[in-house]
Amino acid sequence: MIYREAGVFKTSYDADMALLPIPMDKYFVIAVTLFAVIVVPFISNEYWLGSILVPVLILSIAAIGLNILTGYAGQVSLGTGAFMAAGAYMGYKFVTAFPDVNIIFGILAGGVSSAMIGIVFGAPSLRIKGFYLAVTTLAAQFFLIWLFQKQPWFVNYSISGVPTAPPREIFGILVTGAEASATARYVFVVCFTIALAWIARNLVRGRVGRTWMAIRDMDIAAELIGIRPLQTKLSAFAISSFYCGVAGALWAFCYINTVEPSAFDINRSFQILFMVIVGGLGSILGSFLGAAFIFTLPIFLNNFFGVLGLDVSTATIRHIEFMVFGGLIVFFLIVEPHGLARLWALAKEKLRMWPFPY
């Protein structure tokens, strides 16, 4: 009874096919969105905005990207970090080459370059599937990181090899680089996140999303219906890499403030894969839940023992972290492959009836 969908009568397909057809969902999402954009910057402090919310949101974008590829189109990828790096480096090249162009275009240029690289590395997916494809994307991971590290052109021949993110403004407010305030960076990132999440929802419920899922569920039947496997898989790779590229550019410009390869190594790829698995394969909401969960769990564990008054060494906490992570991933794979998003959906289903049994 807390969560109601009874009494909602739709009289047109338009209403039925709205993004959020149930009023309660609609108001809830609008409220959360407004809260995130308007209220949060005022009530949070520098630490929460800059060190937790910004990275969680950026990783959510990357997780949405991987979810499109793995969760919706069914193509396993271990190259997320590399595609993020492509976004970061190409975004950096674009921003430094055209200093007067708005930073938004710089970030998007990173995404577009990454999408093109994604298409190149996605091409083998027509022939190879599953584990073998994962290994191919692993090649992207190692090759691209090597390329960005060894070719000084990508960092404008900077001597350290790790250039700092150039400061850029929107409406006269600094949003990137080390001097930008956490609030400005947060608002910049949250707007990107909301727009990209909305677009992702539209894509996955529309024609292209259905072709992705068709290829994932039964590729032979999909082809017999008239879906072209190569085009469909490449579009998934392109859009997925676009999201990862934007996330990588934002990571470099708005979070770590430098463009460096170590931020996008294989561990990043695995981290995002875990987010998608724990959050829920084939769910946009799950990407957010997974990113928040995986990113904040170590922070929570760090503080948890302190709050309890236990004196646990940092090394032990690191070990516990690994154990908890490993356990959680095995747990989710066995018990709930659809992740936190599925648990959320189940909770909603239960609340429809609660407190009555029927």
Binding site for other proteins (CB under 8 A): 13-14, 16-17, 19, 199, 202-203, 206-208, 210-211, 213-214, 216-218, 220-228, 235, 239, 282
The residue among 176 and 232 lying less far from other proteins, judged by its C-beta, is 232
The residue among 19 and 39 lying less far from other proteins, judged by its C-beta, is 19
Q: In the bound complex, what is the minimum distance in angstroms from residue 210's beta carbon to other proteins? A: 5
Give the residue from 59, 65, 79 showing the smallest Cα distance to 251: 59
Q: In the bound complex, what is the minimum distance in angstroms from residue 208's beta carbon to other proteins? A: 6
What DSSP designation does 17 have? T
The residue among 123 and 210 lying less far from other proteins, judged by its C-beta, is 210
Q: In the bound complex, what is the minimum distance in angstroms from residue 70's beta carbon to other proteins? A: 13
The residue among 128 and 221 lying less far from other proteins, judged by its C-beta, is 221
Report the alpha-carbon angle 304-326-216, nearest 5: 125
- Could you tell me which residues come within 8 angstroms of residue 313 by beta carbon, excluding any fewer than 6 positions away? none
Give the residue from 278, 297, 300, 298 showing the smallest Cα distance to 288: 278
Q: In the bound complex, what is the minimum distance in angstroms from residue 300's beta carbon to other proteins? A: 32
- Could you tell me which residues come within 8 angstroms of residue 8 by beta carbon, excluding any fewer than 6 positions away? 21, 22, 23
Q: In the bound complex, what is the minimum distance in angstroms from residue 161's beta carbon to other proteins? A: 37
Q: Are 54 and 182 in contact (CB under 8 A)?
A: yes
The residue among 19 and 330 lying less far from other proteins, judged by its C-beta, is 19
The residue among 135 and 218 lying less far from other proteins, judged by its C-beta, is 218
Q: Which helix (DSSP H) or strand (DSSP E) does residue 174 occupy?
A: strand 173-174
CA separation for the pair 250, 57 (Å, rounded)? 10
In DSSP terms, 164 is beta-bridged to: 258
CA separation for the pair 274, 282 (Å, rounded)? 14
Q: In the bound complex, what is the minimum distance in angstroms from residue 205's beta carbon to other proteins? A: 8
C-alpha radius of gyration, the chain, whole number = 21
Q: In the bound complex, what is the minimum distance in angstroms from residue 209's beta carbon to other proteins? A: 8
Please say whether the dihedral angle defined by the alpha carbons of residues 337, 340, 341 and 346, taken in this order, is positive or negative: positive
The residue among 44 and 210 lying less far from other proteins, judged by its C-beta, is 210
Q: In the bound complex, what is the minimum distance in angstroms from residue 139's beta carbon to other proteins? A: 27
3-state secondary structure of 161: coil
178-213: b (≥16 Cβ within 10 Å) or e: eebebbbbbbbbbebbeebbeebbebbeeebbebbb
The residue among 180 and 281 lying less far from other proteins, judged by its C-beta, is 281
What DSSP designation does 155 have? G
**DSSP per-residue codes, 99-113:** TTS-HHHHHHHHHHH
Q: In the bound complex, what is the minimum distance in angstroms from residue 201's beta carbon to other proteins? A: 9
The residue among 2 and 218 lying less far from other proteins, judged by its C-beta, is 218
The pair of three-digit structure tokens given for residue 65, joined into one six-digit string: 């990207």
